[in-house]
Amino acid sequence: MTQYQEKAKITRFEQLSENIVRLTLYSPDIAAATKPGQFVMIKAGKGKDPLLRRPFSVHQTTSDGHLQILFKVVGRGTDMLARRKEGEEISVFGPLGKGYKIEKSKPACLVGGGLGIAPLLLLAKSISRMKMDTSKDVIILGGRSADEIKALVKDFKQFGIKVLVATDDGSLGHHGFVTDVMKNTRLADDSVVYTCGPEMMMMAVKNICAIKGLQCQVSIESVMACGMGACLGCTKHTKDNRYVHVCLDGPVFNAEDLKWNL
């Protein structure tokens, strides 16, 4: 796998809700190389503080060299990034990590919660292109409220895959959790579940999969310094108490290989 470091121009800035932003970057080398579930490292500001880059899943790529990230303002780095303007350049490197392993011959169930929806858009596109039959596939998206996910739901619908929605406040789709929807959805026995979202949600998804006997791929987070295996900072425990590195061995893992301790 080849990585690139690019000065990427911000070609589009979308404020999807009060604190959710989608940036479109012109970053042709990285965009061309990225597979679903992979991420990039971005320098939020120019100065030495905050010092480290921030990891973001690639949300979408286009064949004309654009790459999107979708993020929520949670701290200083994302706040600075949310103040950048169209036309400005930011430093990006990637693609990094191991993404989702698409099982072409098996029904897919994508489950995204909150910002965990980010990597699933590129995944949905890839699935729609790689698979002959997506009639048994389903995408389940969840968020706090319609505000947070309305714009995204529209984007997912373009692939002709069934999209189900849940919101905490019932303002869009099912009133409740994605896991409720998942439980109530008939999934083929050989379905593969691809998920990303808050740890609580992913654990619930994993548990449902365990019960139903479904394969479950989760995309997890960790604080990162380098994003490329150089600092050894991004460790997580496996089920059998070994360490894996999220940036190298993940961010996508088989749910059952990890230790879940909430």
Ligand X SMILES: Cc1cc2nc3c(=O)[nH]c(=O)nc-3n(C[C@H](O)[C@H](O)[C@H](O)COP(=O)(O)OP(=O)(O)OC[C@H]3O[C@@H](n4cnc5c(N)ncnc54)[C@H](O)[C@@H]3O)c2cc1C
Ligand Y SMILES: Cc1cc2nc3c(=O)[nH]c(=O)nc-3n(C[C@H](O)[C@H](O)[C@H](O)COP(=O)(O)O)c2cc1C
Binding site for a copy of itself (CB under 8 A): 45, 47-50, 76
Minimum gap (Å) between residue 252 Cβ and ligand Y: 24
Q: Which of 221, 245, 253, 255 binds ligand X (CB under 6 A)?
A: 221
Q: Which residues bind other proteins (CB under 8 A)?
A: 1-5, 43, 48-53, 91, 93, 222-237, 242-243
45 binds, among ligand X, other proteins, a copy of itself, none (CB under 5 to 8 A by kind): a copy of itself
Does 224 bind ligand X (CB under 6 A)? Our answer is yes
Residues 219-248: x where in contact with ligand FES by CB under 6 A, - otherwise, as a string = -----xxxx-xxxxxx----------x-x-
Q: Give DSSP secondary structure letters for the chain.
A: ---EEEEEEEEEEEEEETTEEEEEEE-HHHHHH--TT-EEEE--SSSSSS-S-EEEE--EE-TTSEEEEEEE--SHHHHHHTT--TT-EEEEEEEESB-----TTS-EEEEEEGGGGHHHHHHHHHHHHH-S--TT-EEEEEESSHHHHHHHHHHHHTT--EEEEEETTSSSSEES-HHHHHHHS---TT-EEEEES-HHHHHHHHHHHHHHT-EEEEE-----SSSSSSS---EEEBTTS-EEEHHHH-BEEEGGGB----
Which 36-65 residues touch ligand X, going by CB under 6 A?
39, 50, 54-57
Does 70 bind ligand X (CB under 6 A)? Our answer is yes
Does 3 bind ligand FES (CB under 6 A)? Our answer is no
104 binds, among ligand X, ligand FES, a copy of itself, none (CB under 5 to 8 A by kind): none
Does 231 bind ligand Y (CB under 6 A)? Our answer is yes
Question: In the complex, which residues of this chain contact ligand Y (CB under 6 A)?
Answer: 231, 233
